Amino acid sequence: MRGHAASTVATAVGPIEVAVYGQGPAVLLVHGLPGSWRQLLPLADDLAADHTVVLPSRPGYGATPLRCGRTYGEQAAAYAALLDALNLHAGAAVVGVSGGGPSAAAFAAAFPDRTTALVLACPLAPDRIRIPPAMRVAALRGVGEVLSAAARARRRRQLARPEERERLIRDELSPSEQARLDDAMRAEVERFFRSHLDAPPGLPGLRNDVAQARAARPFAGTVAAPTLVLHGDADTVVPADHARAYAAAIPGAVIEILDGASHGFLLTRRAEVVPRIARFLTQREPA
């Protein structure tokens, strides 16, 4: 189970795919959409020096069946069941990234005694999202399978061709990030793209995320855990007002808006942002 490989763990709500590695206080990393446990490996690698990192695939993604949790509350319960199955009963910090933000916040609200800290990075506030037409079409049964197969084949071709790969990477970056683009940043962004291709398409999870967003209301849970909200002001995927909505709803939340940062700032600003997250978690863990 431990290392850069995942296994399926039997839990009270069903089988959950998860990778676990590192040593120390537990930190649960909740990926976005689409995605799988692979999406947050760079963050996990950095935190594993001082933490036991728990990287699940959310229900409907990877090898985790959707029946393990459709709503954000059900997904939060699934995370609690996973921590139980892993014998991690002492509590955990929770980091929700992008589309993983809603269920991470739901966990902190539902399980205050098990949440030592909450970090929301470029978090999606589902009640504020405007679902792109392409995502609506991709969520259609039958059509989604055809479009997904074509998109994955096209992405493989783009990554195999240097000029197209460079253009693909640059399109993910803000202007200020493009000006700082180097080989290390290229490798990070390319790894992110390949993480999607290494995982199953995740259409059940995508369809469910679209359905949950359509039905969503503003976050109103009570979060007692210390909370850090991070967002980039150049994020064109999830606007910064989503982060501000969470910060306004969670008493005492600290919000930091990163100048010139895109949606992928955990990769493009890794050397700056990940130590910030690690410090926030460490300051709130038992000595």
Per-residue pLDDT of 187-224, as tens digits, reads 999 999 999 999 999 999 999 999 999 899 999 889 99
Is 2 within a domain?
Answer: no
pLDDT, mean of residues 26-38: 95
Name the domain boundary from 198, 222, 254.
198
Whole-model pTM over 0.85:
yes
Q: Which of the two residues, 58 and 89, has the higher pLDDT score?
A: 58
Is 189 within a domain?
Answer: yes
pLDDT band at 285 (very low <50, low <70, confident <90, very high): low
pLDDT, mean of residues 27-37: 95
pLDDT, mean of residues 68-74: 97
Name the domain boundary from 198, 221, 239.
198
Q: What per-residue confidence (pLDDT) applies to 287?
A: 47
Beta strands in the chain, from DSSP E residues, in sequence order: 7-11, 14-22, 26-30, 52-56, 92-97, 115-121, 227-232, 254-258
**240 lies in the same domain as 119:** yes
Is 63 within a domain?
Answer: yes
Cα separation, 29 vs 37, in Å, equals 8
pLDDT, mean of residues 249-276: 95
**233 lies in the same domain as 272:** yes
Name the domain boundary from 176, 198, 220.
198
**21 lies in the same domain as 139:** no
Q: What per-residue confidence (pLDDT) applies to 1?
A: 45
CATH, residue 36 = 3.40.50.1820
pLDDT, mean of residues 112-141: 87
Domain of residue 167 covers 133-198
pLDDT band at 144 (very low <50, low <70, confident <90, very high): confident
**229 lies in the same domain as 273:** yes
Mean pLDDT of the chain: 93
**119 lies in the same domain as 145:** no
Q: What per-residue confidence (pLDDT) applies to 5?
A: 85
**124 lies in the same domain as 147:** no
**82 lies in the same domain as 216:** yes
Is 40 within a domain?
Answer: yes
Secondary element (H or E) of residue 172: none
Place of tokens 């996973």: 82
Cα separation, 182 vs 247, in Å, equals 33
Is 287 within a domain?
Answer: no
**101 lies in the same domain as 229:** yes
**253 lies in the same domain as 170:** no
pLDDT, mean of residues 256-283: 94
Is 137 within a domain?
Answer: yes
Residue 235: CB atoms within 10 A of its CB come to 21
Is 1 within a domain?
Answer: no
**193 lies in the same domain as 207:** no
Domain count, the chain: 2
**58 lies in the same domain as 156:** no
**Residue 21 Rama label (left phi>0; alpha psi -120 to 50; beta):** beta
Q: What per-residue confidence (pLDDT) applies to 133?
A: 76
Whether residue 148 is predicted with pLDDT greater than 60 in this model: the reply is yes
52 strand-pairing partners: 22, 26
**105 lies in the same domain as 143:** no
pLDDT, mean of residues 145-154: 90
Sheet holding 115-121, edge to edge: 7-11, 14-22, 52-56, 26-30, 92-97, 115-121, 227-232, 254-258
